[in-house]
Amino acid sequence: MPAILSLPVPGLYSLPPFSPALTQDAVHACPEPLPAYLLIGHMLNLSIHLISIDAAGSFFGPRDTSPYTPSLYVLYTRLTNGYIAPSTLPPNFLTLSHTQHSTHANIFTGCVNNRPLADYQDLYYALLARIREMQQRMADHLRSGFSTPMTHIFPSGPTLAELHETLSSYWDVLNDAAAGKAMDDAVREARVQSIQDEIVARVARNVMSGEEAERQIMRIREREVYDEQMGLEWTPEWDAALVNAKLGEKYRGVFEECRRRDRKDG
């Protein structure tokens, strides 16, 4: 008697939804930020975990191996190699030298864990986007009926249910109001400090008087002006496509310069 093949049953399985994404209101209402070292540790551990999953199998599709796209792997590698992110200066301050500095300046030589929390801003976005992509991929597999919660992502790897639980836990950490407040505060302070540093540099280049520089620095440090400076860049529900599009635009100039230099060096 011929064996009876087990056909997929669409819609038979599903996984619990993630908790709601972090909101600006929740961050503003949060009294205390999460200590930076804790948030940094979580992000580094999760990055290594997700990168290793991508390297071990093809369940989540082909890996983006281009060094000129702000993928999770590229952003993690840039952090560990000491590179800085694109400048946070407003457009009226930006020059080509700022883009070039972001491209090849290994300015941080210590342990990656000791980098300022603001340096992790783009990794934070990339992790949230990657979690969303993986969540959607698992949901699609279950909805089609070709996978069950007990299906392994790759041989000897976690099951869909196990990985979903891990991702859900990290999602909760990254979307906790205290974590969001820590990142929001750090990014805002770094942005203001970069403006202040550029003002000082303009005095050194004799393009601004010391009196004008002092006035501008005092102004930007006033509470009502300081609070208006951008912290985290919010994306509804951390939609992966929108997050990745924003990162792509942010790094466009940096990677164009990388290509140019690599062609020249090659």
Residue 85 CA to residue 149 CA, distance in Å, equals 38
Segment 188-213 mean pLDDT:
89
Q: Please report the pLDDT score of residue 5 as a whole number.
A: 45
Instruction: Check whether 125 has a pLDDT greater than 90.
Output: yes
Segment 141-151 mean pLDDT:
92
Q: Which two tokens stand for residue 3?
A: 């064996």
- The verdict on residue 125 lying in a domain is yes
Residue 129 CA to residue 65 CA, distance in Å, equals 17
Residue whose C-alpha is closest to residue 112's, from 150, 153, 69, 83: 83
Q: How far is CA 249 from CA 124, 184, 217, 245, in A?
A: 16, 21, 29, 6
Pair 87, 194: CB distance under 8 Å: yes
Q: Give the chain's mean pLDDT.
A: 88
- The verdict on residue 230 lying in a domain is no
Instruction: Check whether 103 has a pLDDT greater than 60.
Output: no
- The verdict on residue 16 lying in a domain is no
- Which residue in the block uniquely carries the two structure tokens 């310069």? 257
- The verdict on residue 69 lying in a domain is yes
Q: Please report the pLDDT score of residue 10 as a whole number.
A: 62
Instruction: Check whether 70 has a pLDDT greater than 60.
Output: yes
Q: Please report the pLDDT score of residue 4 as a whole number.
A: 46
Q: Which domain holds residue 111?
A: 32-177+239-265
The dihedral sign for the CA sequence 119, 121, 127, 133: negative
Number of independent structural domains in the chain: 1
- Which residue in the block uniquely carries the two structure tokens 């599009």? 245
DSSP H or E segment with residue 191: helix 177-204
- The verdict on residue 161 lying in a domain is yes
